[in-house]
């Protein structure tokens, strides 16, 4: 699993309050909700991060 990086987020208190409600409605933490929304926005705009492939999975060698 990829390592996650933490950072400080400054957010308007009213926005945070609405995010907390939304996260609760969808059974997520606020952090999980923000991450979900960011991933969805990236996907919707064609900016999904490219996944690093595992070289072992791409091994087409027939050696045993």
Q: pLDDT (tens digit, 0 to 9) for every residue of the chain, 64 residues total?
A: 678 899 999 999 999 999 999 999 999 999 999 999 999 999 999 998 887 766 565 555 555 4
- 7 falls within a domain: no
Q: Is residue 55 part of a domain?
A: no
Q: How far apart are CA 20 and CA 3, in angstroms?
A: 25
Q: Does 6 map to a domain?
A: no
What is the pTM assigned to this prediction? Answer: 0.70
Q: Let me know if residue 27 belongs to a domain.
A: yes
17 three-class SS = helix
In a domain, 62, yes or no: no
Question: Does residue 19 lie in a domain region?
Answer: yes
Structural domain harbouring 40: 13-44
Residue 64 tokens read as: 């045993």
Q: How many domains does one find in the chain?
A: 1
51 occurs within a structural domain: no
């Amino acid at each position: 699993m990829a390592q996650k990086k933490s950072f400080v987020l400054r957010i308007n208190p009213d926005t945070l309050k609405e995010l907390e409600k939304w996260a609760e409605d969808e059974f997520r933490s606020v952090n999980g909700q923000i991450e979900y929304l960011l991933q969805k926005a990236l996907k919707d705009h064609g900016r999904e991060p490219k996944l690093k492939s595992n070289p072992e999975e791409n091994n087409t060698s027939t050696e045993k």
